[in-house]
Amino acid sequence: MKLELGYIYIKDIQFGETSKVENGIIYVNKDELKSIILEDQNLKSVEFDLAKPGESVRITPVKDVIEPRVKVEGPGGIFPGMLSKVETVGSGKTNVLKGAAVVTTGKIVGFQEGIIDMTGPGAEYTPFSKLNNLVMICEPIDGLKQPEHEKALRFAGYKAAAYLGELAKNITPDETETFETLSVTEGMKAYPELPRVAYVLMLQTQGLLHDTYVYGVDAKRIISTLIYPTEIMDGAIVSGNCVSACDKNTTYHHLNNPVIHDLFEQHGKTLNFVGVIITNENVYLADKERSSNWSSKLAEFLGVDGVIISQEGFGNPDTDLIMNCKKIEAKGIKTVIITDEYAGRDGSSQSLADADVSANAVVTGGNANEVINLPKLDKVIGHINYVDIIAGGFDGSLHEDGSITVELQVITGATNEMGFNKLSAR
């Protein structure tokens, strides 16, 4: 399967009378977009704001971040099973508004939501401070239950991202990259001398606002399966969860999964990138056993020499991570796991809730319990009063002068377990 991504580099975003992309600038007609978003009767209101790199702006509580993309050629549309009908995506041509994002915020859905600072020390911990962000402040109707509230925000983000993406459908990209995954037999013939490597992508599926969707299906309902990496680049997997902000895989993370990009970069050079095994992170032991059994079985079936495993979340999912690792290692397949740590504020506590001697090759995204002081910024988009209760905050986090003392856990993407961040350890 072959996918061509056309990058249209965005240097600014502004409001305007006509929505368009011109000379690297996105212009957004707020009224037109508002009418689309408010078709959802579960939303009482929606307002839009802009947050650009270097501005003295804080966004909180952050629900999701989505990159605008649009199908130009090939089957399906962006976010299949959500906005587009269920067709297999991952081939043809897709245009990307690179350097832009849609950020959803508003009244808090769950306590595990985050902060994006566009400048200052907090901006150094999140990749989203480097983007030109259209921020949506969505307020639900009175009395709306949390699952419906989460869904309303989720779809509002997809709709806004698709709306922006459509503006680039007929634009010639500034740069184009092509990604291709061969069939198993073709791949073996093409690179017989290179080690075969697969990627086991663990999806957050613990429920109670801890959900990820694959072609519109809640991933807790799937068994471990195979997927082309290019399908993920085309929006087949989206975030629906409210896990701790630091290691949440937003929809933006899935679309730009750095493990996939790095494996493609080395494909045909140092390794043969076979494809992606997706698996879930359920709560009950029987479900964990089933999913990890299937992950290891599929890795063996593909005849791979090595596997990279990334998780999402911490605590309960650490068990899934270690199960996947040790069962795949038991098949004679080498593994590298990507995680982050909750090692206490001084870094001296046990980093993961589970461990095994076979997990001897580990990449860490940093310690989420590390404390950071965030200075007051000139503007807050969203609701600052939730800082004391979101995960990583505490009673007294928000100071009278507007500054904040929190754990890194509150910063969206700070310790991302795909490695989409700047932190690590040796």
Query: How distant, in Å, are the alpha carbons of 148, 210, 392, 412 from that of 240?
Result: 11, 7, 20, 15
Mean pLDDT of 127-142: 97
pLDDT band at residue 412, thresholds of 50, 70 and 90? very high
Tokens of 156: 């509002």
pLDDT at 111: 79
pLDDT in tens, 257-271: 999 999 999 999 999
pLDDT at 112: 82
pLDDT at 208: 86
Write out 200-239 in H/E/C secondary structure: EEEEECCCCCCCEEECCEEHHHCCCEEECHHHHHCCCEEE
Torsion angle of C-alpha atoms 343, 346, 347, 348, degrees rounded to 10: -90
343 has pLDDT over 80: yes
* pTM, two decimal places: 0.96
Active site residues per annotation: 242
In sequence order, what DSSP letters do the residues of 271-299 get, joined into one string? BEEEEEEEEEE-SSHHHHHHHHHHHHHHH
Phi, psi of 182 (to 5 degrees): -80, 165
Q: Point out which residues pair with 132 in neighbouring strands.
A: 100
Tokens of 64: 């999701």
Mean pLDDT for all residues in the chain: 95
Q: How far apart are CA 83 and CA 305, in angstroms?
A: 38
pLDDT at 144: 95
Q: Is the dihedral of CA 207, 345, 125, 103 positive or negative?
A: positive
DSSP H helical segments within 69-182, as ranges? 146-166
242 has pLDDT over 90: no
pLDDT in tens, 194-227: 999 999 999 999 988 899 999 999 999 999 999 9
pLDDT band at residue 393, thresholds of 50, 70 and 90? very high
Closest CA to 224 of 284, 288, 286: 288
Percent of the chain scored above 90 by pLDDT?
91
pLDDT at 423: 82
